Amino acid sequence: MKIALIKGDGIGPEVINQALKVLDAVSKKFRCSFEYQEVLMGGRAIDETGVPLPAETLYICKKSDAVILGAVGGPKWDNLSGSQRPEAGLLGIRKALDVFANLRPAMLFPQLKSASSLKEEILADGLDIMVVRELTGGAYFGEKKRVKTENGIKAWDTMEYSSYEIERVTRIAFSIAKKRKNKVTIVDKANVLESSRLWREVTGNVSKGYPEVEVSYMYVDNAAMQLVRNPGQFDVILTENLFGDILSDEASMLTGSMGMLPSASIGAHKTGIFEPIHGSAPDLAGKDIANPLAAILSCGMMLKYGFNMEKESNAVFEAVNSVLDNGFRTVDIMQPGMIKVGTETMGSLVAESV
């Protein structure tokens, strides 16, 4: 399998290097091979090439079977214009690879229940939610404009969707639900937004092809409340780009640390993007304290959703679970009586456990 590596900025290179240790262990155990090619994107790309997403990076990513991506950005580049910021590279690569479905699991490892921001009685049944977020449409990609008016500057971002865009991500969400608990909650704002009303029409039509899947609808403001009130009611949450960005971050904090959560962005073509959801955290860079487990679990998602390597993916998850069972913790998930380890040691422990 050919994998493009975008290690990124801040702690990105550190956590991705640990994930590669684990992939090397998977390669040895299951006799499979991965070929890596490192390319530039984000702040480092700006420094070295003047743009956040060089053409060469796109070319290599399109030829690869998957992209492993570290975090990009940081205060160093905050004063650049929107199209020149590191984050513009993220939007650009998602669009170019046509990865229209972002999979964001919010899963609470039982060993870390006390680290959650929720009371343990609310988490009694555990937490295992998959947020499926449409990734290449909506307000992030619609028309953006500013004009001067007699009342000052007026600005707008257009939230727009086609039935085609909605249908294709809905089919992915329902397919995932069939492998889980056959339950999908579709989150929108159909009492106000015309685009949300279209979402209801299209998802309703698609759902007829999945009679075994239970479907419900929820307004986004209520969904935000229910996530902290009773998260156990959710299995698969399907929603548009802006709402998904917000809700998936909220769901991630229920698990205790963003350093534990992976993500996958997949689409119509073979090349998906697999990345930890945490930021570049430049204040942590080079200190051997960043949690690499989200990056490691992102590679586990790559094995499952990118390469259909189920047993190899399970081996990564089981290795992380075993290391946590043995009491090893990075500083962000440290608990009394546990063993604090750094980035490098955590990566080595998971690789050894594989």
Based on the residue annotation, tell me whether 219 is a catalytic residue of this protein: no
- Among 9, 188, 245, 332, which one carries the catalytic annotation? 245
The CA–CA distances, whole Å, from 37 to 4, 56, 61, 73, 261 equal 5, 12, 9, 21, 24
- Among 21, 161, 188, 189, which one carries the catalytic annotation? 189
For the stretch 58-64, contacts whose Cβ atoms lie closer than 8 Å and that sit 24 or more positions apart, written own/partner, are 58/92, 58/93, 58/96, 60/4, 61/4, 61/6, 61/93, 61/96, 61/97, 61/271, 62/96, 62/97, 62/271, 63/2, 64/2, 64/3, 64/4, 64/37, 64/271
Based on the residue annotation, tell me whether 128 is a catalytic residue of this protein: no
> What are residue 213's DSSP bridge partners?
none
Based on the residue annotation, tell me whether 189 is a catalytic residue of this protein: yes
Give the pLDDT of residue 126. 67
Give the pLDDT of residue 254. 82
With a cut of 70, which residues of the chain have pLDDT below it?
Answer: 124-126
| Sequence-ordered alpha helix ranges (H) in the chain | 12-30, 43-49, 55-63, 86-97, 163-178, 194-207, 220-229, 241-253, 293-301, 310-325, 343-353
pLDDT 10s digits, 171-194: 999 999 998 999 999 999 999 999
Residue recorded with tokens 């403001």: 221
pLDDT 10s digits, 210-239: 999 999 999 999 999 999 888 989 999 999
Give the pLDDT of residue 100. 95
Based on the residue annotation, tell me whether 125 is a catalytic residue of this protein: no
- Among 65, 98, 157, 249, which one carries the catalytic annotation? 249
Based on the residue annotation, tell me whether 188 is a catalytic residue of this protein: no
- Among 7, 21, 140, 188, which one carries the catalytic annotation? 140
- Among 24, 125, 221, 325, which one carries the catalytic annotation? 221
